[in-house]
Amino acid sequence: MPLLARMLAAPLHVDVRAGALDDVPSLIADGRLSSDGRFALVVGPGIGHEVIARIGHAVAPESVFVVEDDRIETADGLAERIRHRRVDVVVAVGGGRTLDVAKHASSRVGLPMVAVATSLAHDGIASPVSVLSVGGSRVSFGVAMPVAVVVDLELVERSPERLLRAGVGDVVSNLGALADWRLAQQVRGESVDGLAASFAGAAARAVLDQRGQLTSRPFLACLADSLILSGMAMAVAGTSRPCSGACHEISHAIDELHPNTATHGEQVALGALFAFVLRDDLRTAEALASCLQRNGLPTTPAMLGLSDAQFVEVVRRAPSTRPDRFTILEHLEPRRGDVVAAIDVMTALSRNDAAVLR
């Protein structure tokens, strides 16, 4: 009999709404994740006290852990502490770094994890990837996908607006990653997973076309759904390919050459815009630039504080950050003049200078 379907990794539970945090103990106790509701609670240093006040009654005091940073040593230490507790599931509440530490730790000890996001800075909410600091560098680790994803919009509303902008940048950069994936298919015969591509593309287009106010509940719900869908795209593909291309290579190069320049989302958004200009796909570049401008994201290297010369060096370094990945950068191998010309077009897009773009 022919195979008519495939099994997909997906969270058992997704809850995106205001006040969702308060129902987490009920989720744990409903029998799917734990027979008697025993869980470890991992929180970050910022919002930890409020989280403990709201749901701490449902967890033993010795099973509450506060993580201060995202170092690999912190994640390994957390795993060892959880290993000695009688718990069935790990619940992590916080921003991306807290969730990444908890994802890594829970995978180390073989426990399912519930991710409760309090910010929407990147697509790691539901992804099978944990990004941790290792010796001063950011390193990605494959981990188990969260079994449940909760986004409390009340908490998200209080997160810094810059983190929301970063989330927008990260999800719309999927468009560039998908273009690079299809290029690799055409040039190198690399396999493209159509379902993963559909998930990643739908997530990006939903935010690209979102015209509401960034901090409004409808926009935040759309952004949360899109970031979760991006994570599922990576789980389906078994790789970060549907959400990571030249845009992420450029971001990694900025991190190496000019640390702490901007958020990951701001950097990948700029990288995606540059890559579309480099492809001479000005229609997509204009739509992307318009979205970035509406939401306060950079559209030129200068907006990140980088000179043309610095950005040229970034583009030169970018392919070395992911030597296994084929993107428009490896395909065209742009020279200094190509990069400067693309920056000029990006500047024109920022000014909506139709004469230059024509």
Q: At residue 233, does pLDDT exceed 90?
A: yes
Average pLDDT of 152-177?
96
Average pLDDT of 311-336?
97
Give every CB contact of residue 193 below 8 A, 6+ residues apart in sequence: 236, 237, 242
Amino acid 124: pLDDT: 82
Give every CB contact of residue 20 below 8 A, 6+ residues apart in sequence: 116, 150, 151, 152, 153
Amino acid 153: pLDDT: 96
Q: At residue 358, does pLDDT exceed 80?
A: no
Average pLDDT of 176-203?
97
Amino acid 3: pLDDT: 62
Q: At residue 170, does pLDDT exceed 60?
A: yes
258 pLDDT tier (thresholds 50, 70, 90): very high
Q: At residue 33, does pLDDT exceed 90?
A: no
4 pLDDT tier (thresholds 50, 70, 90): low
Neighbours of 36 (CB within 10 A): 9
* Residues 266-290: tens digit of each pLDDT: 999 999 999 999 999 999 999 999 9
Q: At residue 134, does pLDDT exceed 70?
A: yes
Task: Share the mean pLDDT of the chain.
Answer: 93
Q: At residue 175, does pLDDT exceed 70?
A: yes
215 pLDDT tier (thresholds 50, 70, 90): very high
Average pLDDT of 168-193?
98
**Domains in the chain, ordered, with CATH?**
13-157 (3.40.50.1970), 161-357 (1.20.1090.10)
Among 68-72, 191-195, 353-357, the least confident range: 353-357
Buried b (16+ CB within 10 A) or exposed e, 316-335: bbbbebbeebbbbbbbeebe
CA contacts within 13 A on the Cβ side of 151: 26
Average pLDDT of 222-248?
95
Neighbours of 337 (CB within 10 A): 9
Amino acid 120: pLDDT: 95
Percentage of residues in the chain with pLDDT exceeding 90?
A: 80
Q: At residue 48, does pLDDT exceed 70?
A: yes
**pTM, full prediction:** 0.91
Per the structure block, which two tokens stand in for 180?
Answer: 């690079």
138 pLDDT tier (thresholds 50, 70, 90): confident
Amino acid 353: pLDDT: 65
Per the structure block, which two tokens stand in for 71?
Answer: 């170092």
Q: At residue 9, does pLDDT exceed 80?
A: no
104 pLDDT tier (thresholds 50, 70, 90): very high
Q: Which residue would you say has higher pLDDT here, 41 or 48?
A: 41
Give every CB contact of residue 347 below 8 A, 6+ residues apart in sequence: 300, 302, 353
Q: At residue 126, does pLDDT exceed 80?
A: yes
Please answer whether residues 157 and 215 qualify as being in contact, where contact means their C-beta atoms are separated by less than 8 angstroms.
Answer: yes
10 pLDDT tier (thresholds 50, 70, 90): confident
